[in-house]
Every structure is written in C-alpha cells, then in structure tokens.
Amino acid sequence: MSVAARPQLSHLRALESEAIHVMREVAAEFERPVLLFSGGKDSIVLLRLAEKAFRPAPFPFPLMHVDTGHNFPEVIEYRDRRVAELGERLIVASVQDSIDAGRVVEETGPRASRNRLQTVTLLDAIAEHGFDAAFGGARRDEERARAKERIMSFRDDFGQWDPKNQRPELWNLYNGRINKGEHVRVFPLSNWTELDVWEYIDAEQLEVPSIYFAHEREVFRRDGMLYAISPFTELIDGEEVFSDTVRYRTVGDMSCTGGVLSKAETLEEVVLEIAATTITERGETRADDRVSEAAMEDRKKAGYF
Amino acid sequence: MTLDLLRFTTAGSVDDGKSTLIGRLLYDSKQVFDDQLAHVAEASERRGGEGTLDLALLTDGLRAEREQGITIDVAYRYFATPRRRFIIADCPGHQQYTRNMVTGASTADVSVVLLDARRGVLEQSKRHAFISALLGIPEMVVAVNKMDLVDYSEDRYAELRAEFEGYAEKLDGVKTITYIPLSALNGDNVVTRSAQMPWYDGPVLLDHLENVEVAYDHPGEKPARFPVQWVVRPSNGDGDYRGYAGQLASGALRRGEEIAVVPSGGRSRIAAIDTFDGQLEEASAPMSFTLRLEDELDISRGELICHPDEAPSVGRELRADICWMATDLLRPGGKYLLKHTSRTVTAVIDGLEDLLDTHSLERIEAPTEMGLNDIGRARLRTSAPLAFDPYSSNRRTGSFILIDESTNATVAAGMIAQDASTARAD
Ligand SMILES: Nc1nc2c(ncn2[C@@H]2O[C@H](COP(=O)(O)OP(=O)(O)OP(=O)(O)O)[C@@H](O)[C@H]2O)c(=O)[nH]1
Ligand SMILES: [Mg+2]
C-alpha cells in the first residue's frame, strides 16, 4: 500500500496529539489521577484536551482546585460554570481550611500572600484522596526550573521533586511505576508556549475568564507591577490608587498577580499582543517568582505545582 | 516541504559550549525576553564580575548547575522563526548524566554535536555522536566550536573535520553530517556569518536548522501502527459505544479499511474514526483519535491495529541494542518490566551478545555484564508476545524501556535490532 505525501499536521495539532497521548497513558496506568483546574488559561486547555481524549465517556478522573480564598471572583465564577457545563466532579481544597486546622500559618503584612501555603493544602488533598497522579498545566517555557522538568515528574512520599535525579524519559514511553504514598505530576502542555496556548484557545474558541481581556480596574503600582485593589491587598504608604485599562496574563491570587496595560478585548487581539510581547508572563505578572534566583525551583522541590 | 516543528538536541563533551551555543542562538535571533535577559545579566555579573554575560545561564537554570557551571539535566527551550518552530533539548555533556542526554536525544530529529576546536574529538564527543546515531537521529551537525581560541584557523578546522569523518564512516543510521566552524561565545556563524572565517562557505547554524529536511517530514509514508492506549466505553447512557483510543505511531488509516489486531490476531473493518471534532474519513500519524470497528472483538490496551498485509513482527524473543542507565549491573538472567508502545510485560535477559567500545567502535563479544552507560546488544524473552518493528524502520514500535521493579527506576533504553528474532542461539 502506498500513501501519497500528505500535508503536515500543523504544529498546534501535533502538540494537541502529544498531550492527548500523555493523558490517556496516565488514565490507563494510574489508579487515582486528578486534574488540577485553576480556571486559568493552561488548565482551560487541559480540560479541552481531556474532552478530546475521553469523550463520549466522562473523564476518568475528578477535577481539583486549590482555592486560596484570594482568587479573582471572575475566575471562581468561571470555574463553577465550566465544571457544570462539562458535568464533571470538582473537588475544592481550601487553603482557609488548612489555616483553620493549624496546618499552615497565614503570613501577615502588606506583602503577605497565600502562594506558598497552597503547597501544603495541595499535598494534604493528594494524600487525603489517595491521588497517585495529578495533571497540571505548567509549561517549560514559563520558567527556568520548569524548563528542566519531565512531562511525567516523580514526587516522593513527601511530595518533593528532586531536579538532580529525575527519571530518564525516553521517547513517549512514560514510566509511571510508584510506591504507595508517592505520586507523579503530569504536564501534558510541557512543550507548549504561551503563544501556542492562546492560539489554541482561539482556534478552539474556548471561553476564558473575563479578566484575560482588557477592562477598567482600580489598581496601584508596586515593584513595577499593577496590582488590583481587593480585600486581600493592603496599601503601603505612598501608594496611590488609580483606574486604568488592564488585562491579566496569568491567573493567580489577587495579592500577588499583576495586571498589564492592554487594549486587547478579543481572543485575536490577545494572540497579537502575546506574539509581540518582549517579556515573559511570569516576569511581567508574578511577584512570587522574584523572591530569589531559584524561587520557583525551591517551591517546586517542596511540592508546589 | 519542510517540517513545521523541528526538534533538535545538543551533544558533545562537557564544557564544549553547548549551552552557550543555545544561548547565543536564542540571543542573536532575538528570542530572549527582556526579563530573562536582565536576569541572566544579573546572575552572570554576580558570578563573573561586571560586564559578563554568560549566555549558558539561559538554559542552565538549576541552582546546582549554576554553582558548578555545568549542565545536569536537559533544558527544553522553544523558539520560532518565520520558517519554522523549534524545540531545543540542551543536553549535559558530563558522562555522569549520559542518561539525561539520551532522554533529550530520544525525541530529536537533528543532533548538534559540538567539538572544542582546541581539545578536538574527545571520547565523550564520540560517545554522544554514537548515541545520536543509535537513537536513529538522521541528521547530524558537527559544530566545531571555540574557533576564536584557534585564531579561526582553517587548517585546524580541516584537521578536526577529517578526524571526525574518519570516525563517522563507521556510524550507521546517520543520513547526513554537516560541518560548521563557529564561536558560540562571539556569535560567529551561529545566526550571522562570521567575518573571521571567509574561507567557510557553508550555511550558518540557524540557516541550516531552518532548511534541513528530516525523514519526519513524511511520517505518513510508513505502514500504519496504532497501539491501543485506552478503551472508551461510556457508562453514562451511551451504552453501545466502544472505541479504541490511541495515537497513530506511523502511517495512515481510512474508514472502511480492513484491519488486523496484533498480537491477539483478530480481523475487522474500520467502522468510524472518531474525534471530539467529528468523524474523519482518513487519519495519519501522529494524530490521536478513537477507532470503532465493525465487529465485536475483545481488544484491550496493549494491542496494536494495522493493515493485515503490513503487519509488524510478533514474538516473545527480541534482539535489541541496550543503553544501560543504572549503577546496578545488567546480567544474563536479570528480570525487568519492559514497556513497549502501550504494552508492559515482564522480560528476562537471555544473553548478552556484545558490548560496544564507543571509542574504537569495536564490539567486544559475549560480555558477562553491562555497567552504567554501557551500550551493547542483548537477547530478551518476554512473558507475553509483542508486536514490533526494527527501530531503524520505526522509532515508535521499535523502542522500549526496561524498569527495575524493585526500585521503579527506568534502567535501560532499548532499540530493537533489524534481525530481531531470527538469530537466537539455542
Ligand atoms: N572562547 C570560547 N569559549 C567558549 C565558547 N563557547 C563556550 N565557551 C566557554 O566554555 C565554557 C563551557 O561552556 P558551556 O556552554 O557551559 O558548555 P557545555 O557544553 O554546555 O557544558 P555541559 O553542558 O556541562 O556539558 C564556558 O566558560 C563558556 O563561556 C567559544 O565559542 N569560545
Ligand atoms: Mg551545558
């Protein structure tokens, strides 16, 4: 049988196919996977990929959101709507509950954030539900430590990542063998860039939370970033509140995620803006990465997303 | 036609300048974001003093890597030019991290092997070139780096090129080797043509990467191989639906075609090719989709669907090249889990046929064991049959990994030999 040369699969469809393959491998080889859904753009893409991998059947895993209590209300509203639309089960693991139970201690002061606390809530929830694999939307283009991580990334029974001793990952043959108490994190979007994600959202016409589009908001400037006024932010002397047109490139806590000045009101405009940007999404919007040279590596070692 | 998405990897001995080269490639093609560059500048100055810009820090992102000034694990970087998108795997050169290099190289279409113009063709350069060839990477670039340290000497370049050519004659599987003299540090012949080496009239590195044709340009032109990953059987009302989900490893499938299921041996026709976006008349590699068949067959994960007249070999005995990645020794009689496509079985090492000296490329017959980073040929027997092709004709259905059940570690990469099961010596 001879097959005529056919057009190449576009790079987005090639990335999509690779990600679907990864999701099915995990569904087949693990007993209790979970998909971490934050309502952000990357996990929105994960949900679409799960539909492509498993429909017409329901997903072979629940969704889980680690809710810091400091989220943008627009994102929580979107999260619940999307989950209802899909008819899938959502588990909410609450950082507030971890604080109330004395598992973590809330930071104080105007720069306090619940970012670090999430790790404990996440690991507790993984242990409580006995999850052995957790899908995350992290991408290698986001940050230098993430650039080093495997698609299927092993976590020991303390939830720790050991970047100096990762399992070889050959071809597309994933080794999902673990002992009880250990788990893996799985990143189907490892090889996607931020631009790929937006082009895909546009191609698939996926709905995203409204904060990804330009809107008027009360903000103040700190460390070169524009933060939203919210019940979770305290102004420091001299900081002034003003109104401007911003959008968000990443979805994190209101306390540590900056907005960017933007006029992009549609998916096409967002794609154009991202294609032209000269600064990375985390560099532009996340205070949590600026703590030290290896801030992300250190958090990941401790079990962060 | 050239590929939309090209994956390439770096290879070569420690300190030959692989990470610096990738940094230079990204920097000179203006693919470094402002904040990344600011960070790298700051981190460079902290280590090297004012005015230093160590472009290797664009990929050497781990704390331990920066402390030691070496690469420990693969860094993946992404960039695009108007011609192509690239996925770069920047690999470590240090012998201790060979398995990480194999990880980065296993998915590459092009391997860029660096030589240090002063130090020449080292043992480790050869080992990495050999591994690239063994992994079936069809295109090799030999980048003779640090030309600035040898006064951009044409003679030195010619000497190294001749030496490498002598070695490469014995490498199987590499289609073309392209030699480029460059300086990653100064950017000569990386993205822009060097004024220092007017005697060189070949392509600069980026040009070459943008234009090189790889076999993967036509992944559809091979026999169809569809390993079943997952059976879609909704329990929520859609009671009759039974679909076989997977990613087409090679070739193409059409609705209505007759298919065979191996190793179990069933036959049927394709009733539908389902995707979330609707049904397809035809699908080609590397698409993921779900097949429905006309007949009710008992097919589970690990079976492979193909055309009846182009079926792969089926058997429980294999000969394969093994890259051994564990400190524990590999010995005849050893028992491991073997993962091949979507099937995991138990495998016993029946015998070791030879061990390769990557320096001389000579084969040492009948070794008693293999140690960390050794490459050799072994005979294996599996607890259940596998449906496989030689690695040289199909990377997906010709590769496997071995897992040590007591540690769960991935201990070997396996590549099934051409004469896979014919020459068993018993
Ligand atoms: N003079 C000169 N030095 C170079 C050149 N390229 C790299 N170097 C230097 O060589 C040293 C090693 O460079 P790296 O890029 O870290 O080497 P590597 O091959 O990535 O090393 P590993 O990843 O650890 O195997 C650094 O000090 C570089 O600055 C070059 O073209 N000329
Ligand atoms: Mg390096």
Render pLDDT for B179-213 as a digit per residue (tens, 0 to 9): 999 999 999 999 999 999 999 999 999 999 999 98
End-to-end CA distance of chain A: 47
Give the pLDDT score at A4: 34
Domains and CATH numbers, chain A: 3-197+294-302 (3.40.50.620), 209-287 (no CATH)
pLDDT digits 0-9 by tens, B201-246: 999 999 999 999 886 545 667 999 999 999 999 876 656 899 999 9
User: CA dist B168 to A16, A125, B8, B121, B161, Å?
Assistant: 37, 54, 19, 11, 10
Closest residue by Cα to atom 8, ligand 1, is B17
- Lookup: tokens for B367: 């070794």
Q: Return the pLDDT at B72.
A: 95
All domains of chain B in start order, with CATH:
5-217 (3.40.50.300), 220-310 (2.40.30.10), 313-422 (2.40.30.10)
Q: B288 vs A17: CB contact, 8 Å cut-off?
A: yes
B256–A contact, CB cutoff 8 A: no
CA distances from A131 to A155, B87, B406 (A): 12, 31, 22
| A96: helix, strand or coil | helix
Q: Which of A83, A208, A186 is nearest to A136 (CA)?
A: A186
B-chain residues near A6 (CB < 8 A): 220, 252, 284
The two structure tokens encoding residue B192 = 């822009």
Q: Which sign, positive or negative, has the C-alpha torsion A290, A292, A297, A301?
A: negative
CB atoms within 10 A of CB B417: 21
Nearest to A11 among B4, B103, B230 (CB): B4
Average pLDDT over residues B389-400: 95
Global pTM reads 0.94
* C-alpha distances in Å from residue B287, one per residue of A44, A52, A196, B40, B424: 21, 12, 18, 38, 36
DSSP helix, strand, coil percent of chain A (3-state; round to 5): 35, 15, 50
Predicted confidence (pLDDT) per residue in A7-28, tens digit: 456 889 999 999 999 999 999 9
Which of A3-7, A231-235, B326-330 has the highest mean predicted lDDT (pLDDT)? Answer: B326-330
Of B35, B72, B218, the CB nearest to A279: B35
Residue A146, classified by CB atoms within 10 Å of its CB into exposed (0-12), middle (13-18) or buried (19+), is buried
Chain segment B264-284, per-residue pLDDT in tens: 999 999 999 999 999 999 999
- Which tops the pLDDT comparison, A35 or B47? A35
Positive or negative torsion for Cα B310, B316, B318, B322: positive
- Note the pLDDT tens digit of each residue in B139-181: 999 999 999 999 999 999 999 999 999 999 989 889 999 999 9
What confidence tens digit (pLDDT) does each residue in A179-193 have?
Answer: 999 999 999 999 999
Q: Is the CB of B70 under 6 A from ligand 1?
A: yes
pLDDT exceeds 70 at position A111: yes
Task: Answer yes or no: is pLDDT of A72 > 90.
Answer: yes
Q: Give per-residue pLDDT as tens, B95-125.
A: 999 999 999 999 999 999 999 999 999 999 9
Instruction: Give the integer Cα–Cα distance in Å for A170 and A32.
Output: 24
Q: How far apart are CA A51 and CA A33, in angstroms?
A: 15
Asked whether the beta carbons of B93 and B14 are under 8 A apart, the reply is yes
Beta bridge partners of A64: A36, A91
pLDDT score, position A81:
97
For residue B360, the model assigns a pLDDT of: 83
Confidence of residue B319 (pLDDT cuts 50, 70, 90): very high
For the cut 90, the answer to whether the pLDDT of residue B333 exceeds it is: yes
- For residue B194, how far is its CA from the centre of ligand 1 (angstroms)? 19
> Where residue A291 falls among pLDDT bands split at 50, 70, 90?
low
As a whole number, mean pLDDT of residues B240-260 equals 96
Task: State in Å: Cα B10 to ligand 2 middle.
Answer: 9
pLDDT at B220: 65
Q: Do A278 and B62 touch (CB under 8 A)?
A: no
pLDDT of residue A6: 40
Q: Which atom of ligand 1 is nearest to the CA of B70?
A: 24
CB < 8 Å to B395, chain A: 171
Contact A137, A63 (CB under 8 A): no
Size of chain A, expressed as the number of residues it contains? 305
Asked if the model's pLDDT at residue B424 lies above 50, the reply is no
CA distance B39 to B22: 17
Q: How confident is the model at residue A1 (pLDDT cuts 50, 70, 90)?
A: very low
Split at pLDDT 50, 70, 90, the class of B426 is very low
pLDDT, position B421: 62
pLDDT band for position B361 (50/70/90)?
A: confident
Statement: residue A134 has pLDDT above 80: yes
In tens, the pLDDT along A212-255 reads 999 999 999 988 889 999 888 888 888 999 999 999 999 888 88
Residue A194 has pLDDT above 70, yes or no: yes
Protein residue with its CA nearest to atom 21 in ligand 1: B15
Tell me the percentage of chain B whose pLDDT exceeds 70. Answer: 95
Indicate if ligand 1 lies below 6 Å from the C-beta of B144. Answer: no
